Structures are given as C-alpha cells and as structure tokens.
C-alpha cells in the first residue's frame, strides 16, 4: 500500500478513510483530524489556559503532544492513583515526557489527599474500582483547574472510548447520561470548568500509531483494576463490527452527536457548592466527599 499523499510506502492504513499514509503524512493526518474536531465543536480558544489530564497512557500523552504542536498553551496534571506498580510506572512515563518537551507538569496524589490510594478506597467503600476512581479523578481535575486558573480541562478519550460509553448508555437506556454525553461540556457559573475531548475523531489504534511514530514512551499496560470491565467487551464488539464495516464506530458516535443526542433530555441542573469542599454538586455534599467520608468511617470501624 502507498501513501495517498506522496505515493511512498505506507506505514499506517486507515480503513475507514480507505487510505494509507507514510509517517510524515500520517502525523499530518492526525493533527488535521484533531484541529478539525477542535474547530467544529468550538472546543478551544487560542487564549485558553488548558490543563491536560495526563495518565501516562498513549492517549493523554499523544493529546498533550498534539496540542503543543498545534500551538496551544497546555500544562499537564497527573494524578497518582496508588495502584501499585502500574501507577508508579505511569508517573515515571509522564514525568519523562514532560521533561523531554520542557512542558509544565502538576502532580496530585490521592494517597496524600485521602490517606490511601484507589485500591483501598474501593475496598473500603465496596465500590467498583473504576467508579470510585472516576469520581476521584473528576473531582481532582475540576478542583485543580479552578484553583489554578485553568479555563479548560482536556482528556484523552478517543473514538473507541466514547463509542463504547455510548453503546453502554444505550444498552441500559441511560437517557440522562445520553442527554449529557458530549465531547464538550460547557463551564457553569457554579464552578464546573469546561471539559473537552479533542481525540474523539481518532480510533484507539490511530492514537497508538501516532504515539509510536512520535517516539512517545507510554504506559502500555492496562490498569489492573479494570480487568474484566464491561467497557472492554463493548470495545471488542465495536471492533468486530468495524472489521466487517469500516467506519461503523465513527458513524455510531458522530451520528449520535449530530442527530441522536438532541432526542434525549438535557436539562441544565442547578448546582450548589458542596458543604465540605465547595465543589459544584447537585446535592448538599458532593459524590467525592461522600465517598471519602464512607472510606474514613469504614476505617474507623463505624460501618
């Protein structure tokens, strides 16, 4: 197969575009796809102060690299989750990347905040690890951005991640989530910082190819706590469909953004300041503070 741009041998094939690319033109293709997503969905302004949530995996490191190349001002925020070697290795990769590009990296440790990491948090509260982890990460992203004057938080969710989430939401008819599932979450007066997912036009394997071709050394291992998660099964199913009919994932997700989502309820919820931490919440005490309280109570043997 030859590169569609220059007829040199292709190193990456993108079947849904029915195209092959050489290294140089694949990198250009990825940058163009992300730029197009940012522009079409009005994700970022040139004067935004962007905080990229970086896990050390391929998606978030590639995102940071891409935003930097596109000329955006973007600092990183890495959260130490406290999931054994997986977490410590992720931190090493994140730091090395930031250093190699001279980028500013902030770090927050869950263990320093709570007294223990995600593994113990989930054990003590008997919550599924990914769910306790998600609540914790969302809380830290928003609070850190707000406290440090960042105007937008960018995460590395890609096409496969978002299509799998969409499939899960549909299978369970989570109409409220469907009304909210978006690549852009606007800021609210109550203090939610705007959130964007600039990689939603790129499949996981395209992001991986980009990271490898750019020489990004990323955490290859999956989180050990997420083994057996249903999201993996949804990704497998979608990949199977994609094999038979290239473009299925893209049509599924982008068709939803363009034509599906508006049919689901989208009420703007009134948010209050959490009585404990001040972060926006629909109730009196936010999900994170309730989780932390349950974990502390369990430790004290009161439950």
207 Cβ contact list (under 8 Å, min separation 6): 30, 58, 59, 62, 156, 158, 199
Please pick, from the candidates 27, 225, 286, 292, the single residue that binds ligand FES as defined by CB under 6 A.
225
Rg of the Cα atoms in the chain: 20
Interface with ligand FES in residues 83-102 (CB under 6 A): 83
**Could you tell me the smallest distance in angstroms from the CB atom of residue 55 to ligand FES?**
7
Query: Which DSSP state fits 263?
Result: G
Q: Which residues contact 3 (CB under 8 A, 6 or more apart)?
A: 9, 10, 20, 21, 22, 25
Phi/psi for 273 (5° steps) reads -80, 130
- Choose between 187 and 226: whose C-beta lies nearer to ligand FES: 226
* Angle (nearest 5°) at CA 124 between 121 and 130: 45
| By CB under 5 A, residue 229 contacts Zn ion | no
Window contacting ligand FES (CB under 6 A); options: 68-76, 185-193, 218-226, 269-277? 218-226
Beta strands 105-109 and 74-80 are: parallel
Binding Zn ion (rule: CB under 5 A), the pick from 1, 6, 245, 299 is 6
Tell me which residues touch ligand AMP (CB under 6 A). 53-55, 59-60, 77-79, 81, 137, 155-157, 161
Other Cβ atoms less than 10 A from the Cβ of 262: the count is 10
Pairing of strands 184-185, 105-109: unpaired
* 223 makes contact with ligand FES (CB under 6 A): yes
Give the interface segment with Zn ion, choosing from 48-56, 205-213, 243-251, 287-295 (CB under 5 A): 287-295
Three-state DSSP at 11 gives coil
Find the helix or strand (DSSP H, E) in which 251 lies.
helix 248-255
Find the shortest distance in angstroms from Cβ 212 to ligand FES.
22
Q: Which stretch binds ligand FES (CB under 6 A): 44-52, 127-135, 239-247, 271-279?
A: 127-135
List contacts with Zn ion (CB under 5 A): 3, 5-6, 22, 25, 274, 276-277, 279, 286, 289
Q: List residues near ligand FES by CB under 6 A.
A: 81, 83, 118, 129-130, 133, 223, 225-226
């Amino acid at each position: 197969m030859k590169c569609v741009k220059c007829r040199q041998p292709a190193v990456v094939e993108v079947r849904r575009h029915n195209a092959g690319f050489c290294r140089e033109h694949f990198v250009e293709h990825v940058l163009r796809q992300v730029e197009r997503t940012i522009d079409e969905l009005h994700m970022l302004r040139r004067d935004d102060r962007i905080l990229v949530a970086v896990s050390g995996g391929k998606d978030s490191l590639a995102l940071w690299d891409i935003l930097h190349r596109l000329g955006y001002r973007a600092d990183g925020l890495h959260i130490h989750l406290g999931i054994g070697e997986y977490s410590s290795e992720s931190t090493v990769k994140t730091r090395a990347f930031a250093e190699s590009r001279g980028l500013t990296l902030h770090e927050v440790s869950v263990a320093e905040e709570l007294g223990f990491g995600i593994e113990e948090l989930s054990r003590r509260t008997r919550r599924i690890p990914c769910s306790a982890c998600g609540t914790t990460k969302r809380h830290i992203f928003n609070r850190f951005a707000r406290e440090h004057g960042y105007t937008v938080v960018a995460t590395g969710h890609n096409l496969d991640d978002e299509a799998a989430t969409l499939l899960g939401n549909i299978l369970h008819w989570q109409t409220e989530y469907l009304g909210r599932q978006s690549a852009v979450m606007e800021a609210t007066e109550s203090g939610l910082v705007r959130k964007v997912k600039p990689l939603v036009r790129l499949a996981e394997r395209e992001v991986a190819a980009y990271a490898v071709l750019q020489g990004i050394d990323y955490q290859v291992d999956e989180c050990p706590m997420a083994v057996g998660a249903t999201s993996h099964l949804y990704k497998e199913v979608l990949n199977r469909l994609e094999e038979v009919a290239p473009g299925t994932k893209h049509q599924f997700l982008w068709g939803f953004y363009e034509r599906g989502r508006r049919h689901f309820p989208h009420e703007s919820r009134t948010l209050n300041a959490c009585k404990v931490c001040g972060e926006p919440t629909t109730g009196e005490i936010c999900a994170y503070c309730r989780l932390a309280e349950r974990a502390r109570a369990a430790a004290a043997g009161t439950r």
